[in-house]
Amino acid sequence: APIHLLFCLSAAAHCVLTAFLCMWVLCNAQSNSGTPVIQLRLAGENRKHHEGRVEVFYNGVWGTVCDDDFSIYAAQVVCRELGFVDAESWSPSAKYGRGEGQIWLDNVYCAGGEKSLAQCGSNGFGVSDCKHSEDVGVVCNQKRIAGFKFIRNQGLTVQVEDVRIRATYAHRKRVPITEGFLEVKDGGKWRQICNEEWTEMNSRVICGMYGFPGEKRFNVKSYKLLAKRRKKNYWGFSVNCTGNEANLATCKLGRAIELKGNSTCGKGMPVVVSCVPGRAFAPSVSTGFRKAYRLEQPLVRLRGGAMIGEGRVEVLKNGVWGTVCDDNWNIRAATVVCRELGFGSAKEALTGARLGQGIGPVHMNEVECSGFEKSLTECHFNRDSLGCSHEEDAAVRCNIPAMGFHNRLRLNGGRNPYEGRVEVLAERNGSLVWGTVCSDSWGTMEAMVVCRQLGLGFASHAFQETWYWQGDSSADAVVMSGVRCSGTELTLDQCLHHGKYVHCPRGGGRFAAGVSCTQTAPDLVLSAQVVEQTTYLEDRPMYALQCAHEENCLSSSANKADASSYRRLLRFSSQIHNNGQSDFRPRAAPHSWVWHECHRHYHSMEVFTHYDLISLNGTKVAEGHKASFCLEDTHCDDGIQKRYECANFGAQGITVGCWDTYRHDIDCQWIDITDVKPGDYIFQVVINPNYEVAESDYTNNILKCRSRYDGQRIWTYNCRIGGSVSSEAEETFPGLLTNQLSHR
């Protein structure tokens, strides 16, 4: 088709005529081979810019494609026709929503080498027995074909090879880059955009896609001076964004701009974008990554995500954290959450508890946001969450700034990219060199930070010996030691460590630190209700506690106690759920489990839980520990099969969607309070206290209850998962009062 007709002539009348002719050509033209000329686009809700429902422009009308006989080869043709290098997958059954109007193609068959979907076999245009419930969708590789010639019509979305913010020379060493000339890559060349029709909404979208929550003003005079001295190569179109788009590729293409060499954009200059970074990503020189990551999240937080900027959405109401139901959850609401937390726009609005199930109440349902609210709590929503379960918890993935963290760390010698010896880039004698990390004190928390920094997900294991992984011999020297992480850091060098003064008694080599990473992780959560409802006291004679005594389940005073004396035990049941995305398995292999003759069972973990009674000033007054003598699926949610049981030396673990119950009447399921005086206390249970097994969220591993003991009876109340059980100020967010939808 004669695409060159798109270029406007000098007069406005010629522009109108050209646009008309272009549409006429696209509607009616046949190629030399007789193949109809079509145009494709991706459409639909809750999608990224490189995925969506396939729509075809033919005979002046947009229509969809039926999923009958569609294949990955057809998806490849679609993606390449749209300027992407390849297809990753395709989806039947209107995954991206049902289209409207025509279904142009049915029974599409492609070999994969066709230049256009119109060249593939089909029933013919408009010949279909499908419904829009069968509309097909594709996911393309994000990478664009270099030098690809896009077909453009005003009103369609912006299609370019790439977009960048080009910083001035003075700002190029800053990380992240927050300000500079905006450039788009088209036809293999970087081009500027004329600012004559540029709006704040356009800048908002650019900042959002680069991981920044907002835009700000900049020094126009200095950029005008710079622009005068630079050779300009303008792009031939303007851009129309509403401000809610997650990417420039979903903004509408504006009018064609007359390109007149140096006279182009005579009343303006190249577009400059200046963005405000979130607190965690404040600009610094490239070596300044040592500030600890401390993000204030007063009303909204993310939990259970593998990467920074993703997770299950949780909101605070009256001092209690709860989740958001996914009914009507969309990219606008997700973007409000992301910007509120200091990230950019949302890449994805996730439904169906894709990032794990939460606990506690469901605070918000049927959330409706304009996209411009300062907080999710300002959006309209329905307080009634009847019918919503944690299987419908909403989650987000946000755009985050390019910090270059992954360039300062690498894994070497592993069998796959997700494992290996940890090697870091460190400054030695004025130059940057690669070296290893001392494995003294190396554990799961440190491995978690490494995997997150590399964008590889959660830690699966932390290794203190890596002799079986042959790393780079030039990087054998230890350059980092004494590493201690809290688990919230963005990079390994934000963790506590010895700095330039390395101290590693065992040396590197075979004892260099290593990790393996995984995309999913378990998440254990204790049922607060079960603990609160099952606590009671029992006085039990010492002669009936011999096995428990051998396993250190009694306080130290029991060592001198007479066999006929009694111990006072605070008994309770614990029900431990796996709400994560993968099974909880003991780290130790079965051959290393320890056999306990007295109780005749294996311990698969040295310590699985800690039980403590603590005074109100934080002093332990009684304690016990619960070795994991058996991890199994006691019960599971409907439709989930039990996978683990202890009988006959079976496999141990807790399946996703199942729970392990330790009944109050089994040995060691207690705290020995024989020596405790009457008073008010905090009863505390911690699961996986030594972080022996990696989880997606450790903050929900602790349960605290208030307890009152009068010497004969005990009352346990106000049990909470995570956080404090002291008298908390009632915190309410205005949205729950002013924006509730009373009738739905």
The model's pLDDT over 545-593, given as tens digits with 9 standing for 90+, comes to 888 888 788 888 888 888 889 999 999 999 999 999 999 998 877 777 7
For the chain, give percent helix, strand, coil, nearest 5.
20, 35, 50
Residue 675 in any domain: the answer is: yes
Q: Are residues 316 and 445 in the same domain?
A: no
Residues 602 and 710 in one domain: yes
Q: Tell me the three-class secondary structure of 52-79, residue by residue.
A: EEEEEEECCEEEEEECCCCCHHHHHHHH
DSSP string covering 673-722: -TTPPSEEEEEEEEESTT--S--S-STTSEEEEEEEE-SS-EEEEEEEES
- Which one-letter amino acid corresponds to residue 608? F
Contacts of 2 (CB under 8 A, 6+ apart): 25, 29
Q: Which domain holds residue 357?
A: 300-399
User: What is the average pLDDT across 419-444?
Assistant: 91
Q: What is the DSSP letter of 385?
A: -
- pLDDT at residue 49, as a whole number: 85
For residue 130, being part of any structural domain is answered with yes
Q: Are 411 and 421 in contact (CB under 8 A)?
A: yes
Most confident residue range from 157-166, 244-253, 279-288, 443-452: 443-452
537: left (phi over 0), alpha (psi -120 to 50) or beta: beta
* Residue 413 sits in the same domain as residue 559: no
Does any domain span residue 26? no
Least Cα distance to 351 among 389, 385, 387, 381 occurs for 389
Give per-residue pLDDT as tens, 125-140. 999 999 999 999 999 9
Let me know if residue 16 belongs to a domain.
no
Report which listed range, 154-163, 394-403, 557-566, is most confident: 394-403
Together in a domain, 583 and 717:
yes
User: Do the domain assignments include residue 571?
Assistant: yes
Distances (CA, A) of 565 to 217, 271, 542, 553, 668: 78, 84, 6, 16, 18
- Whether residue 253 is found in the same domain as residue 342: no
Mean pLDDT of 216-234: 85
Same domain for 528 and 511 = no
Strand partners, 200: none
Q: C-alpha angle 208/209/214, rounded to 5°? A: 15
Q: Rounded to whole angstroms, how far apart are CA atoms 722 and 359? A: 11
Q: How far are the Cα atoms of 86, 154, 236, 347, 529 from residue 14, in angstroms, in the given order?
A: 37, 15, 16, 40, 74
Do 259 and 193 reside in the same domain of the chain?
A: yes
Tokens of 354: 């894709």
Its pTM stands at 0.79
Higher pLDDT, 744 or 386: 386
Q: Which of 52-66, 185-199, 250-264, 306-320 has the lowest mean pLDDT?
A: 250-264
Q: What are phi and psi of 424, to 5 degrees?
A: -120, 155
| Residue with tokens 């081979």, as numbered in its chain | 33
In a domain, 23, yes or no: no
Rounded CA gap, 511 and 422, in Å?
A: 11
3-class state of residue 83 by DSSP: coil
Give residue 34's Cα distance to chain centre. 48
Per-position b or e across 227-261, b if 16+ CB within 10 A of its CB: beeeebebbbbbbbbebbbbbbbbbebbebbbbee
Alpha-carbon span 48 to 78, nearest angstrom: 16
Distance, CA of 205 to CA of 183 (rounded, Å): 14
Give the bridge partners for 450, in sequence order. Answer: none
More confident residue, 154 or 16: 154
Give CA–CA dist 537/583, Å, rounded: 34
**Do 429 and 541 have their domain in common?**
no
Question: To which H or E segment does residue 736 belong?
Answer: helix 735-738
Q: Is the pLDDT of residue 343 over 50?
A: yes
The last residue of a domain, from among 399, 434, 462: 399
Beta pairing partners, 410:
423
Rounded-to-integer distance, Cα 568 and Cα 430, Å:
65
Q: Which of 276, 311, 337 is the last residue of a domain?
A: 276
Same domain, 704 and 675: yes
Write b or e for each residue in 538-565: b if 16 or more Cβ atoms lie within 10 A of its Cβ, otherwise e: eebebeebeebbebebbbeebeebeeee
Distance CA 648, CA 430 (A): 61
Cβ atoms of 735 and 317 closer than 8 Å = no
pLDDT of residue 724: 43
For residue 304, give the CATH number of its domain: 3.10.250.10
Question: Picking from 20-34, 312-326, 329-343, 691-705, which range would have the lowest pLDDT averaged per residue?
Answer: 20-34
Looking at the fold, whether 576 and 687 belong to one and the same domain comes out as yes
| Structural domains of the chain, count | 5
- State the pLDDT confidence band at 45, using cuts at 50, 70 and 90: confident
Looking at the domain assignment, is residue 292 inside a domain? no
Instruction: Report the distance separating Cα 565 and Cα 569, nearest Å.
Output: 13
Of the candidates 386, 333, 335, the residue with the CA atom closest to the CA atom of residue 361: 386
State whether 48 and 129 are in the same domain.
Answer: yes
Is 739 within the bounds of a domain? no
* pLDDT of res. 298: 67
How far is C-alpha 597 from the chain's CA centre?
Answer: 45
- Give me the percent of the chain exceeding a pLDDT of 90: 53
pLDDT for residue 46: 74
Q: At 63, phi and psi to the nearest 5?
A: -145, 180
Give the C-alpha distances (Å, rounded to integers) separating 562 from 283, 555, 675, 708. Answer: 67, 14, 15, 28
Mean pLDDT score across all residues of the chain: 85
- Give CA–CA dist 534/705, Å, rounded: 13
- Burial letters for 660-688: b for 16+ Cβ neighbours within 10 Å, e otherwise? bbbebeeebbbbbbbebeeeebbbbbbbb
Of the pLDDT bands very low, low, confident and very high (cuts 50, 70, 90), residue 157 is confident
pLDDT tens-digit series, residues 588-632: 777 777 776 666 667 777 788 899 999 999 899 987 666 666 789
Domain boundary among 350, 372, 399: 399
Same domain, 351 and 433: no
Cα separations in angstroms, 437 against 45, 430, 441, 448, 478: 45, 20, 11, 15, 6
- Quick one: pLDDT at residue 595? 72
Judge whether 135 and 65 are in contact, CB under 8 Å. Answer: yes
In angstroms, the CA 605 to CA 585 distance is 10
The neighbouring-strand residues paired with 394 are: none
pLDDT at 669 exceeding the cut of 70? yes
Euclidean distance between CA atoms 607 and 515, whole angstroms: 22
pLDDT of the residue at 11: 37
- Cα–Cα distance, 676 to 532 (Å, whole number): 20
Distance in angstroms (rounded) separating the CA atoms of residues 525 and 692: 16
Give the contacts of 47 (CB within 8 A, at least 6 positions apart). Answer: 96
Q: What is the DSSP letter of 382?
A: E
